[in-house]
Structure 1
Amino acid sequence: MKHFARLLFITLTLLRFGVDEIALGRVRQPWLRALARLIAIGRSYDEPRGPRLRQALERLGPIFIKFGQVLSTRRDLLPADIANELALLQDRVPPFDGAAARALVEAGLLNELGRKFDDVFDSFDNTPIASASIAQVHFATLKGGREVAVKVLRPNVLQAIESDLAILHTVARWVERVSVDGKRLRPRDVVAEFDTYLHDELDLIREAANAAQLRRNMASLDLIMVPEMLWDFCTSRVMVMERMYGVPISQVDRLRQAGVDIPKLARDGVTIFFTQVFRDGFFHADMHPGNIQVSIAPETFGRYIALDFGIIGTLTESDKDYLAQNFIAFFRRDYKRVAELHIESGWVPPDTRLEALESAVRAVCEPHFDRPLKDISLGQVLLRLFQTSRRFNVEIQPQLVLLQKTLLNVEGLGRQLDPELDLWSTAQPFLERWMNQQIGWRGFLDRLKDEAPRYAHYIPALPRLVHQALSIAARKVEDELAPASAAQVTALLKEQRRTNRLLQAMLWVAVGFVVGLCAVRLLSPYVLR
């Protein structure tokens, strides 16, 4: 009954703001157009469709707001008036009372850290600088004068999310049970993945830890800045971080006037994304324009500023290797290799005809190469691939759902910054360089040096261990020789000789490995130049 009430509320809200007309007004099926006209009888609206859609999503809560945030980056798929309104959801969701936010900060400091508010903050601005679906941000000044940003969770946000997630789980079970594609699409796994990431986003200690990890990862890449977390003042509902100064990336005209190289900025964004995904396997998975700024300060001019680390994606080494090989095969138009990878990974049944899958992938991807980003819709490519995947029973991989979402966000940002950006040619050199580091000579040397401290601990003990093994084997032979027959003695001696040869070979391999390590240390400065 509780879920039914929420479903009824969602339906009535969509009807109240005329979302049904927006969704069904331009469909091709005549019966759906007729249904939309029938439902619209007797209704009229004082506001245009863009504000109505935004207000409906705001009214429905955090999950629907996040959906609107993703849609706002796809200006190639949405009319401009709708995209402009949905962009307001990125950091302009209606805020909750500033005094309530201050009270939450006071309670968190006192209950979780044993600190008084006035002992920590010199000032606290009750007017939020940004307000999103899960939390809002206030500027403050610590005792001693350091300027910080304070993120505070919305009151009762957990209850609102739990209600909608329960509905999503129910719908996913229903779809998996009745839909022909239900088992292949794995909707329950996808919703479970979404559930996990949303709950992670509700724990600000976890978000602060994500930010700290991303800051360490990106320290060597002089293209992006991540704020420092001030751990002495962070709690599960309040996060205090270094205040960053930048221009929202959506304000392209302002950035251009400041002298920022916009095409370079677009290319840098692609580099940052692929570095996080393929080098680190740890990437910012909520890269809508409200979470990205650009520094115009002289010492950090033109560098990205990342904000909001509640949703972070991770990939295993096998995921990264599989994806990189797929991307490189796409860039080289090696569609046979793409088909082979799908079969090798188990994403398609092993009896799938390689030639048929290769032909299908070629038909989807070939028309989109050698064209600028403004002429390519990755959304349309994904739609075609989805249609193809149904034919070949491709299983959707839940661990890659966040990556797909982030790739769409990156495309939206790239399109907004530089419509001429060629996403494929920008990414290809990076991926080929990464693959060379993984499977080439340099990758071998790097892994050898990484393992050297571990082997250096065991190798000096090998002669002693070999001697002990030989002694134990000799005593065992002596014990067994006395009552044994001549044939048994001969067999035992042969076994002993085989064991000795094996142990000697192991010893020589160990000695050779030590010599190899010494050679690597001596030669690596010259090989890696």
Structure 2
Amino acid sequence: MRHLARLLVICVTVLRYGLDELALSSFRQRWVRLLVRVMTVGRQLDAPRGVRLRLALERLGPIFVKFGQVLSTRRDLLPADLADELAKLQDDVPPFPAEQARVLVEQAFGRPIDAVFARFDAEPVASASIAQVHFAQLKDGREVAVKVLRPGMLAVIDDDLSLMRTLARWVERASADGKRLKPREVVAEFDNYLHDELDLVREAANAAQLRRNMQDLNLILVPEMVWEFCTQGVIVMERMNGLPISQVQRLRDAGVDIPKLARDGVTIFFTQVFRDGFFHADMHPGNIQVSVAPESFGRYIALDFGIVGTLTEFDKDYLAQNFIAFFQRDYKRVAELHVESGWVPPTTRVDELEGAIRAVCEPHFDRPLKDISLGQVLLRLFQTSRRFNVEIQPQLVLLQKTLLNVEGLGRQLDPELDLWNTAKPFLEQWMNQQIGWAGFVEGLKKEAPRYVQLLPELPRLIHQALQPRAAVEQRLLEALLIEQRRTRRMLYGIVCVLAGGALGVLASQLWLHWR
């Protein structure tokens, strides 16, 4: 019943804000246009369509706001008016009252807010779907940002996720593509990420890990957490000062090298994915700023670490080989990798899959970002994967989302950016480090503790290996004979015990009989 009630709320919201008209407006069939007219009779839809879409997503809750944030970076897929309005979802969601934020902070720390902060700004500087941020000053003078979780988020998200799980089961049963798409596994991954985002201590830990990983790159800044003031509902971190990355003209006026900034963004992304296997997975413009301070001028500033992605060594190796094969236009190798990984049935003809991938990717090489759309490429690849029964990999859904965000950022910063040629040298260097001499030396370093444990046993192991085969076999035979004699003695004892027990029972029966 909760699912039906939620579906009803969604339908009412869609009708109230005229999203049905928005969704059907691209259809040219006469009956569709007639249906739109009938459904919009009597409604006052004075607000622009972008405003109505944003308000509807805000009303429907955090999951829908997240969806709108992803869409907002895809200006190649959306009209400009919709993209501009959805961009407000990144850091301009209506805040909850400042007094309520103060109460939540005091409950989290168990003391009055004035006992923790010398100053706490009532007006939030950013308000998103999950939390909002206030600037403050600690008693020791440090300038900090205080992130406060929105109240009641868990119940709303759990209801929507429960509905999504039900819909996923329906899709799996009713759709011919259900098994291949793995909708329940995808929803389960989404469930994990959203619940992780609701635990701000986990977000603080993610930030600390990312800060350590990025220290030697000198391209990105990550705020330091104030751990004594980090709880599940409130966290306090170093205050960062920068310009929003979406304000390109302000960055240009400040002297930031915009083309370099775009290239640095690609380098940061591929470093996090392939070197560390730990990447910021919510890289929409609202979470990215650019430093204009003299000591860190032109560096990225990363914010909001509630959603991070992780990759196993197998995932990293497989993806890197795929990317390099793409860059080298070795479509046969791409097809072979899909078969080797089990993503397509083993009966798939490699030459047919190779031809299909070539038809999708070849038209998009040697062209600047303004002339291609990675979103369109992924859509064509999805259609191809359906034909060849490619299984969706749930652990890579976040990576695909982040890659789209990165492309969206690059498109805003530098439409002339060549995404492929920017990433290719990095990936080739990474593969050389993995399978070349550098990778061999690094592997030895990782295995060194195990070698140290084996060294004391090495002389005995060598001695055993050098023993004549006959001597080894003789010792094994002697050990086998000893074991056989021990087994025979044990069986003999068991038989004696059983025989004695049987004779005892017989004697007692005879005694009772003659008595």
- TM-score of the pair, normalised by structure 1: 0.87
* Corresponding position of 2:79: 79
| Structure-2 separation of matches of 1:109 and 1:157 | 20
How far 1:262 moved relative to its partner? 0.2
* Corresponding position of 1:389: 385
> Does the 8 A contact of 1:234 with 1:240 survive in 2?
yes
Counterpart AA for 2:219? L
Q: What does residue range 409-424 of structure 1 map to in structure 2 within 5 Å?
A: 409-424=405-420
| Structure-1 separation of matches of 2:26 and 2:37 | 11
* Corresponding position of 2:164: 168
Match of 2:319 among 311, 323, 330: 323
How far 1:74 moved relative to its partner? 0.6
Q: What does residue range 183-262 of structure 1 map to in structure 2 within 5 Å?
A: 183-262=179-258
* Corresponding position of 2:51: 51
Q: What does residue range 457-468 of structure 1 map to in structure 2 within 5 Å?
A: 457-464=453-460
| Structure-1 separation of matches of 2:105 and 2:480 | 83
1:109 pairs with 2:105: no
1:433 pairs with 2:439: no
The 1:482–1:211 alpha-carbon spacing in structure 2 relative to 1, beyond 3 Å, is: closer
The 1:483–1:263 alpha-carbon spacing in structure 2 relative to 1, beyond 3 Å, is: closer
How far 1:470 moved relative to its partner? 9.3
Q: Provide the aligned length of Structure 1 versus Structure 2.
A: 479
1:291 pairs with 2:275: no
Q: String of CA shifts for 1:296-317, please: whole Å, max 9, x gaps.
A: 0000000000000000000000
* Corresponding position of 1:13: 13
* Corresponding position of 2:509: none
| Structure-2 separation of matches of 1:348 and 1:464 | 48
Counterpart AA for 1:252? V
Counterpart AA for 1:244? M
| Structure-2 separation of matches of 1:212 and 1:482 | 57
The 1:199–1:476 alpha-carbon spacing in structure 2 relative to 1, beyond 3 Å, is: same
How far 1:474 moved relative to its partner? 7.4
* Corresponding position of 2:438: 442
* Corresponding position of 1:339: 335
* Corresponding position of 2:399: 403
| Structure-1 separation of matches of 2:448 and 2:247 | 49
How far 1:261 moved relative to its partner? 0.1
Identity among equivalent pairs (%)? 76
How far 1:44 moved relative to its partner? 3.0
| Structure-1 separation of matches of 2:353 and 2:168 | 28
Match of 1:375 among 371, 375, 392: 371
Structure 2 unmatched ranges of 5 or more: 482-515
Q: String of CA shifts for 1:89-144, please: whole Å, max 9, x gaps.
A: 0000000001101110100111xxxx553332111111110000000001111011
- TM-score of the pair, normalised by structure 2: 0.90
How far 1:467 moved relative to its partner? 5.9
Counterpart AA for 1:333? R
* Corresponding position of 1:275: 271
| Structure-2 separation of matches of 1:53 and 1:478 | 81
| Structure-2 separation of matches of 1:333 and 1:474 | 58
Q: String of CA shifts for 1:173-225, please: whole Å, max 9, x gaps.
A: 10111011111111111111101100000000111000000000001101001
Query: Counterpart of 2:211 in 1: which secondary structure?
Result: helix
Query: Counterpart of 1:65 in 2: which secondary structure?
Result: helix
Q: What does residue range 84-99 of structure 1 map to in structure 2 within 5 Å?
A: 84-99=84-99
| Structure-2 separation of matches of 1:179 and 1:344 | 27
1:133 pairs with 2:129: yes
The 1:70–1:474 alpha-carbon spacing in structure 2 relative to 1, beyond 3 Å, is: same
| Structure-2 separation of matches of 1:274 and 1:35 | 47
Counterpart AA for 1:3? H
Query: Counterpart of 1:287 in 2: which secondary structure?
Result: coil
Structure 1 unmatched ranges of 5 or more: 485-529
Counterpart AA for 1:75? R
| Structure-2 separation of matches of 1:220 and 1:181 | 45
1:40 pairs with 2:50: no
How far 1:451 moved relative to its partner? 2.0
Superposed CA RMSD in Å reads 2.0
The 1:459–1:62 alpha-carbon spacing in structure 2 relative to 1, beyond 3 Å, is: same
Counterpart AA for 1:8? L
> Does the 8 A contact of 2:279 with 2:310 survive in 1?
yes
The 1:94–1:476 alpha-carbon spacing in structure 2 relative to 1, beyond 3 Å, is: same
* Corresponding position of 2:62: 62
Counterpart AA for 2:17? F
| Structure-1 separation of matches of 2:479 and 2:337 | 60
Match of 2:154 among 153, 158, 161: 158
Query: Counterpart of 2:68 in 1: which secondary structure?
Result: helix
> Does the 8 A contact of 2:102 with 2:113 survive in 1?
no
Query: Counterpart of 2:225 in 1: which secondary structure?
Result: coil
Counterpart AA for 1:234? C
Counterpart AA for 1:402? L
How far 1:290 moved relative to its partner? 0.3
> Does the 8 A contact of 1:26 with 1:33 survive in 2?
no
Between stretches 455-464 and 6-15, larger displacement belongs to 455-464
| Structure-1 separation of matches of 2:475 and 2:336 | 57
How far 1:170 moved relative to its partner? 0.7
| Structure-1 separation of matches of 2:199 and 2:91 | 19
Which one has the largest radius of gyration?
2
> Does the 8 A contact of 1:147 with 1:242 survive in 2?
yes
Query: Counterpart of 1:326 in 2: which secondary structure?
Result: helix
| Structure-1 separation of matches of 2:427 and 2:18 | 45
How far 1:29 moved relative to its partner? 5.0
* Corresponding position of 2:485: none
| Structure-2 separation of matches of 1:26 and 1:223 | 42
Query: Counterpart of 2:282 in 1: which secondary structure?
Result: coil
Query: Counterpart of 1:450 in 2: which secondary structure?
Result: helix
> Does the 8 A contact of 1:49 with 1:82 survive in 2?
yes
The 1:481–1:214 alpha-carbon spacing in structure 2 relative to 1, beyond 3 Å, is: closer
Query: Counterpart of 2:157 in 1: which secondary structure?
Result: helix
| Structure-2 separation of matches of 1:366 and 1:289 | 30
Counterpart AA for 2:101? A
The 1:236–1:355 alpha-carbon spacing in structure 2 relative to 1, beyond 3 Å, is: same
